[in-house]
């Protein structure tokens, strides 16, 4: 009896402690239903009993949460007895949370605002474990679009295909059909308040729609097509629940492989003109996509596989926009889905000027720091492009693209990221974010770590997504409060007391790659993998490797590159801005401080220890990289000094620094050989610096080490040669290139010898002043200067053997010349081995500019080499098997130190 009485008493006490909550909202709306589900979940986890209804119960005395969209019928019905002031609730996705007695109200400007208000309350309950008795809060995001990127791409080309050409199939992308993975990713997005998801692919339409006029264009089987329909529908519906807008990206002009084979054309070609066939196919593909998925936006890249700016304008206004309009008309829809125009490789302000009268719901996008993260002080011509686009009459999106200089180590500097978002607003005029994965874009969803099973990038790089999402919502958080916030976040993940040291490690290490690339890099593009290092020859003569125009002027504060610094040091001139010596000292100090921070945290780490140890290894790798790079720069400084002094002692002093650099790199190899599968996720011939990445090679530090060791040995050998030479100077000689017979089919074509005094144009008096000895046996093809500038150059020829055509590009930024092949803007720029300078400064033409030599390789047969508008020289034909040793012939019109990179060959 006593036992029963005790049980009865406990039951009464239990019932008395039961906490009842009623959640009221419109369950018919996907975003509100999702919000109610999240609220119910967190309340149940904290021992609340939850009832859900679309109407406020009569005579209700329980704690109640009413959620709804401002002005909606359901909201007005459930709040009719209150006079809620929502006059200030006007911003898109904004919300306010208010408490009146037992009732908490969550009101949103729109459905997304309701969702974000509910999630804000969810976060509060998760942290405090209780539903607050009183709360009063208003909030809205600064950036109207906050999006992340998933590349439906692969590290390598598919057989028989080239860049960006990846059909949606289970064989290519098994993860694409994993619904649990999608739910995890979409939940990560909404938790960090992202509202847009960009799916990047070259030509997605042939995997997602079928065309009546081109049934053969589909790239996937009927079975895979049905799977694609199902998963695309699933992803878009689940994204919509979370307030996420799905945006499909595509390149131009790119057609499906079956379509190309049917018509005997290439899938993509830089110099190809717009044809009625290409226009019709693309327009109908877009129309069918919009008809099927009217709520999915489009992100388009003009250029890369397009010929001229005029073509860009025509394609956007007469193909893409009409395609969208055709799709809308077919389903009777009048609401325009957004179209986003990338500023990449086009004149986006001009395109927008022509497009806005035709279509209103347009956005613009441009890369923040190119394809890397280098500065929160952007400037120069690229910043000016951002400003022009931000003034074009639509929302401008800042694209944090590829992150080539951050792969593969963990990056998580909240300070750098917050400052970058502020710069997007204040300097670029952007009000939206487009965010690439921190690493492994080409290998998504996996991280580059060597683990079994493989890590997911979104889990490994959680702080990357959290930081950008936090500051895209509000970039104005107080720095002191942010330090406390991030320390708390890190302590929650790894153990109480660990946050201070880990945050220090993240923020100190977070300065190393940005500072290094902006001061010493060849390009911000994924042509260069910074954390694999650079060769000394690239440091002392970067222009031989095609420094990307605008990079130095745009991707960092005012400063000097190494060549400028060495010249000023020799001539005793004052330095300006950020200097190479300053940066190598700073990155070494950052590396040291980062290691101190991670060691400070180590005793406190009691959770997620395995991941912490991976982070710790990355911090040590950053430190080793900083020291490796610093020592190599010190060596390069002394080598450049030798180019002026001709004093062998400068080289003697450089040698120990290069030796230390290799020693540090060996330690870096030791720390990465078992922990990383690769440094760079793009593992094709498009990767050129520090070394070619053909066939997935040269993607690890272990593979690079022998090259750096060889560089050191060659340097030692050349110093000894110099010491044995009576004049303390050696002229490096290279093999003379011999011509091969090729039949030039251009009508009225004439030839000229590569000798001093020879005219290079048929209608211009410009003649050769000086030419490298290794070219003097060759014969060029003479074209009209006027014709080149107005219509471009077409070399029509026939060969019975494999040949290389030597093409001379003028070393200048003049608008009169044709720019050389550039992988940053043309993915086809190495399809014939033409992406790299073979001989820099090989010829000087009177009244013009120094000439750099590139080569194009052709198989036997009849061909046309089609080049764009602008001056360019066809300088002869050599055997296709001939290997040209890349070098600088040193023939320039500049009064500077002699070419010195031969010391490393």
The answer to whether 344 and 368 have CB atoms below 8 angstroms apart is: no
Residue 11 reports pLDDT greater than 90: no
Instruction: In whole angstroms, give the CA distance from residue 390 to residue 375.
Output: 20
Residue pair 440/409 in contact by the 8 Å Cβ criterion: no
Q: In this predicted model, what pLDDT tens digit does every residue of 610-656 receive, in sequence order? A: 999 999 999 999 999 999 999 999 999 999 999 999 899 999 999 99
- What's the rounded mean pLDDT across residues 93-121? 97
pLDDT tens-digit map of 546-562: 888 899 999 999 999 99
Give mean pLDDT, residues 453-461: 98
Q: Are strands 432-435 and 145-151 parallel, antiparallel or unpaired?
A: parallel
Task: State the greatest distance between any 2 C-alpha atoms of the chain, in Å, as a whole number.
Answer: 120
Which residue in the block uniquely carries the two structure tokens 């993940």?
493
Q: In DSSP terms, which residues pair with 864 in a beta bridge?
A: 796
Q: What tokens does 609 get?
A: 């220890």
Phi then psi for residue 462, to 5 deg, are -55, -40
Element (H, E) at 865: strand 861-867
The Cα 166–Cα 185 span in angstroms is: 22
Strand (E) or helix (H) holding 249: strand 245-252
Which tokens sit at 165? 């050409």
Give residue 17's pLDDT band: very low, low, confident or very high (50, 70, 90): low
What percentage of the chain carries pLDDT values higher than 70?
96
The whole-number average pLDDT for the span 262-283 is: 95
* Of 513, 520, 524, 510, the residue nearest 555 (C-alpha): 524
690 Cβ neighbours under 8 A, 6+ residues apart: 528, 529, 532, 533, 534, 535, 538, 704, 707
Backbone region of residue 303 per phi and psi (left: phi > 0; alpha: psi in -120 to 50; beta: other values): left
What's the whole-model pTM score? 0.88
Can you tell me the distance from the alpha carbon of 486 to that of 481, in angstroms, rounded to the nearest whole number? 9
pLDDT tens-digit series, residues 494-524: 999 999 999 999 999 999 999 999 999 999 9
Query: What are the structure tokens assigned to 610, written together?
Result: 């395995």
pLDDT in tens, 350-397: 999 999 999 999 999 999 999 999 999 999 999 999 999 999 989 999
Average pLDDT, the chain: 93
Whole-number Cα distances in Å, 537 to 60, 540, 679: 78, 5, 21
Helices (H), 521-579: 536-540, 551-554, 562-571
What pairs with residue 559 in β-bridges?
A: 578
133 backbone φψ class: left, alpha, beta (φ>0; ψ -120 to 50): alpha
379 vs 196, 367, 374, 525, CA distance in Å? 27, 13, 12, 17
Domain ranges within the chain, ordered by starting residue:
18-139, 145-478, 512-724, 743-904
* Cis peptide bond prior to 84, omega within 30° of 0: no
Tokens of 129: 């474990």
Please give the torsion angle defined by the CA atoms of residues 386, 392, 396 and 402, in that order, rounded to the nearest 10 degrees.
-50
What tens digit of pLDDT does each residue of 707-737 get?
999 999 989 988 987 887 544 444 567 899 9
pLDDT at 18 over 80: no
**Out of 99-113, 205-219, 845-859, which region has the weakest mean confidence (pLDDT)?**
845-859
Around Cβ 14, how many Cβ atoms within 10 Å?
A: 9
* Mean per-residue pLDDT, 869-881: 96
According to CATH, the topology of domain 18-139 is Chitobiase; domain 2 (3.30.379)
**48-90 pLDDT tens trace:** 999 999 999 988 889 999 999 999 999 999 999 888 999 999 9
CATH class of 145-478: alpha beta
């Amino acid at each position: 009896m006593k036992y029963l009485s005790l049980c009865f008493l406990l039951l009464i006490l239990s019932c008395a402690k039961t906490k009842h909550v009623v959640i009221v909202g419109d369950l018919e709306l996907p975003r509100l239903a999702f919000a109610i589900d999240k609220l119910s979940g967190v309340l149940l986890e904290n021992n609340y009993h939850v009832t859900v209804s679309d109407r406020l119960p009569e005579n209700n005395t329980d704690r109640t949460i009413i959620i709804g969209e401002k002005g909606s019928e359901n909201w007005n019905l459930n709040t009719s007895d209150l006079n809620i002031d929502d006059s200030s609730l006007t911003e898109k996705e904004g919300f306010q949370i208010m408490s009146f007695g037992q009732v908490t109200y969550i009101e949103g400007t729109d459905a997304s605002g309701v969702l974000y208000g509910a999630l804000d309350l969810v976060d509060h309950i998760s942290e405090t474990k209780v539903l607050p008795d009183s709360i009063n809060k208003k909030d809205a995001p600064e950036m109207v679009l906050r999006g992340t990127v998933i590349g439906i791409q692969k590290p390598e080309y598919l057989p028989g295909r080239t860049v960006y050409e990846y059909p949606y199939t289970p064989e290519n992308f098994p993860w694409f059909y994993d619904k649990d993975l999608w739910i995890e990713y979409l939940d990560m997005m909404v938790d960090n308040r992202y509202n847009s998801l960009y799916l990047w692919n070259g030509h997605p339409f042939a995997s997602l729609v079928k065309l009546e006029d081109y049934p053969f264009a589909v790239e996937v089987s009927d079975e895979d097509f049905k799977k694609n329909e199902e998963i695309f529908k699933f992803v878009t519906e689940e994204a919509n629940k979370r307030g996420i807008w799905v945006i499909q990206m595509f390149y131009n002009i790119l057609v499906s492989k079956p379509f190309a084979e049917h018509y005997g054309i290439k899938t993509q070609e830089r110099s190809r003109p717009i044809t009625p066939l290409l226009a019709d196919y693309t327009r109908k593909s877009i129309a069918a996509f919009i008809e099927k998925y009217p709520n999915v936006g489009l992100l388009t890249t003009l250029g890369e596989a397009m010929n001229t700016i005029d073509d860009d304008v025509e394609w956007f206004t007469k193909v893409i926009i009409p395609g969208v309009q055709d799709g809308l008309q077919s389903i009777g829809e009048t609401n325009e889905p957004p179209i986003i125009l990338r500023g990449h490789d086009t004149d986006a302000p001009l395109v927008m000027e022509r497009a806005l009268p035709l279509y209103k719901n347009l956005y613009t996008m441009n890369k923040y720091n190119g394809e890397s993260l280098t500065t929160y002080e952007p400037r120069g011509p690229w910043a000016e492009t951002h400003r022009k686009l931000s003034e074009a009459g639509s929302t401008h999106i800042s694209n944090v693209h590829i992150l080539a200089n951050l792969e593969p180590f963990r990056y998580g500097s909240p300070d750098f990221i917050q400052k970058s978002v502020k710069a997007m607003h204040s300097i670029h005029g952007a009000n939206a974010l487009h965010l690439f994965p921190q690493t492994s874009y080409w290998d998504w969803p996996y991280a580059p770590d060597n683990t079994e099973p493989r890590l997911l990038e979104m889990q490994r790089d959680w702080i990357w997504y959290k930081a950008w999402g936090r500051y895209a919502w509000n970039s104005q958080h107080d720095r002191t409060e942010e330090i406390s916030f991030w320390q708390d976040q890190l302590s929650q993940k790894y153990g109480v007391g660990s946050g201070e040291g880990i945050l220090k490690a993240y923020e100190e290490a977070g300065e190393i790659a940005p500072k290094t690339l902006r001061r010493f890099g060849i390009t911000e593009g994924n042509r260069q993998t910074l954390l694999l290092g650079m060769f000394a020859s690239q440091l002392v003569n970067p222009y031989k490797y095609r420094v990307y125009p605008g990079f130095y002027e745009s991707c960092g504060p005012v400063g000097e590159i190494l060549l400028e610094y060495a010249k000023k040091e020799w001539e005793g001139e004052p330095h300006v801005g950020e200097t190479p010596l300053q940066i190598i000292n700073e990155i070494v100090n950052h590396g040291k401080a980062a290691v101190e921070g991670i060691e400070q945290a180590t005793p406190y780490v009691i959770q997620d220890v395995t991941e912490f140890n991976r982070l710790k290894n990355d911090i040590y790798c950053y430190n080793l990289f900083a020291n490796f790079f610093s020592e190599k720069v010190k060596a390069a400084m002394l080598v450049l000094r030798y180019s002026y002094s001709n004093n062998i002692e400068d080289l003697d002093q450089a040698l120990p620094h290069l030796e230390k650099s290799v020693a540090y790199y060996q330690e870096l190899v030791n720390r990465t050989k078992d922990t990383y599968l690769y440094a760079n996720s793009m593992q094709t011939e498009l990767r050129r610096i520090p070394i070619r990445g053909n066939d997935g090679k040269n993607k690890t530090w272990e593979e690079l080490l022998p090259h750096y060791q060889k560089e050191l040995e060659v340097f030692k050998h050349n110093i000894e040669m110099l010491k044995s030479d009576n004049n303390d100077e050696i002229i490096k000689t290279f093999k003379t290139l011999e011509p091969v017979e090729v039949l030039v089919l251009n009508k009225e074509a004439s030839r000229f010898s590569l000798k001093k005094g020879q005219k290079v144009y048929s209608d211009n008096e410009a003649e050769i002043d000086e030419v490298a000895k290794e070219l003097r046996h060759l014969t060029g093809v003479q074209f009209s200067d006027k014709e080149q500038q107005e219509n471009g150059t077409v070399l029509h020829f026939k060969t019975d053997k494999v040949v290389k055509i030597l093409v001379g590009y003028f070393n200048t930024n003049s608008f009169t010349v044709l720019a050389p092949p550039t992988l940053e803007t043309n993915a086809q720029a190495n399809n014939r081995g033409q992406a790299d300078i073979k001989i820099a400064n090989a010829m000087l033409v009177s009244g013009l500019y120094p000439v750099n030599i590139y080569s194009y390789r052709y198989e036997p047969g009849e061909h046309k080499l089609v080049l764009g508008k602008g001056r360019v020289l066809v300088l002869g034909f050599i055997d296709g098997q001939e290997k040209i040793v890349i070098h600088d012939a040193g023939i320039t019109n500049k009064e500077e130190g002699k070419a010195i990179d031969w010391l490393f060959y």
